[in-house]
Structure 1
Amino acid sequence: MGVRLLTVRDRTRAELARLLAVRGFDRADSQVALDRLQEQGYLDDRRFATTWARSRLRTKPMGSYRLGKELEVKGVEEQLVREVLGDLYEEGEEPAARRAMAGKLSVLGRLPASARTLRVARFLQRRGFSSEMIWRLLHEEQQG
């Protein structure tokens, strides 16, 4: 059953354990199966976290805080989340913040500047970027 659940998409160990429990599998038997899947390379939280986070960052640029929380919800351990985010945000959050801001600005094109600035600030905040980053980028946008 575990292999079949992994053919749909890659999952974390915690996600797969939850799915097996919901389907009525015994916890001890599930742990043995999960260990075997991990030993055989079918189940790899690092691979999942890296692939999922890269994809998420590419399609929906966001700050490391929010992306980290999303990974934790998926069942990725805190230490692994820090390592993966460290690799992904090696150059900092600014490139992702700039991409997110550019996308939002293109949608808001004809709004008055003050309304556009407010909406972009809220959008970037929801995406998990720091207030300092948001302020700096908006200040640059207004100056440029």
Structure 2
Amino acid sequence: MEITTVSGPSFFIRTIYLSLVNPDDIVDGAEFLDEKEEELVDAGLCFAVEQKALDYLNRSEQYRMGLTAKLIAKGFAKSNINRALDYLESKKYLDDRRFAGVWLRNRAITHAEGRSKLSMELAARGINKAYITEALDEFFEEISEEEICMRAFKKCVKTKKDEDKITQYLLKNGFSIKLIQKVKEDYGFEK
């Protein structure tokens, strides 16, 4: 809905951002004062945040915490950001669960990391633990963690790391000791 002020400038709002103003009362010539005027301006700011967030979402998948930081850096108020992002989540334009899946697939292209490291990376981005678990389970159904560990192991062997350094490297990259031992055995390293 377009709102035009007495002094001339106009802005857009989405009625979902209104609570005091009845959308049916917004007609040509209507005047809003005090709290209602403030609410209309606030709804306009929420809509502006929503549009900027959509710009980011059109470029690539985003996660709520990261998108919030980007919008704060653009000078938007946290309260407007939260309301706009709540709306975008309700419409499924913003989805941390979907982001987690996309992020894992992209990350696997250049990094060989295990479940615990990937989980920590997603948690650091503010992704809900249940979403992390779901995304990791789905990811490791498609790609074997053992294959990823073997890829990292072979990279270490290629760079002539000794066995202890290989183990430290693989542990640091989120692979379990049990998986590391299995990969070593499959490769032909002695226990």
Question: Alignment partner for residue 19 of structure 1, among 70, 77, 81?
Answer: 70
Gapped regions of structure 2 (runs ≥ 5)? 1-51
Distance of 2:166 and 2:144 partners within structure 1: 20
Moved over 4 A (4+): none
On the 8 A contact 1:97/1:129 being kept in 2, the answer is yes
Q: Partner amino acid for 2:103?
A: W
Q: What do the CA deviations read for 1:35-81 (whole angstroms, capped 9, x no partner)? A: 23234443121221101111112321111011011011112111100
Question: Alignment partner for residue 120 of structure 1, among 155, 163, 166?
Answer: 166
- Matched residue count: 137
Question: Alignment partner for residue 54 of structure 1, among 97, 101, 105?
Answer: 105
Query: 1:105: which partner in 2?
Result: 157
Question: Alignment partner for residue 95 of structure 1, among 137, 141, 147?
Answer: 147
Normalised to the residue count of structure 2, the TM-score between the two structures is 0.63
Query: 2:18: which partner in 1?
Result: none
**Cα root mean square deviation, aligned:** 2.0
On the 8 A contact 1:50/1:84 being kept in 2, the answer is yes
- Higher RCO (Cα < 8 Å, 6 or more apart): 1
Query: 2:177: which partner in 1?
Result: 131
On the 8 A contact 1:117/1:138 being kept in 2, the answer is no
Q: What do the CA deviations read for 1:86-132 (whole angstroms, capped 9, x no partner)? A: 11123752121111112222232xxxxxx521221121111111112
Normalised to the residue count of structure 1, the TM-score between the two structures is 0.82
Q: Partner amino acid for 1:138?
A: K
Gapped regions of structure 1 (runs ≥ 5)? 109-114
On the 8 A contact 1:12/1:43 being kept in 2, the answer is yes
Query: 1:43: which partner in 2?
Result: 94
Query: 1:112: which partner in 2?
Result: none
Distance of 1:40 and 1:89 partners within structure 2: 28
Distance of 2:61 and 2:183 partners within structure 1: 36
Larger radius of gyration: 2
Distance of 1:41 and 1:139 partners within structure 2: 45
Identity of aligned residues (%): 28
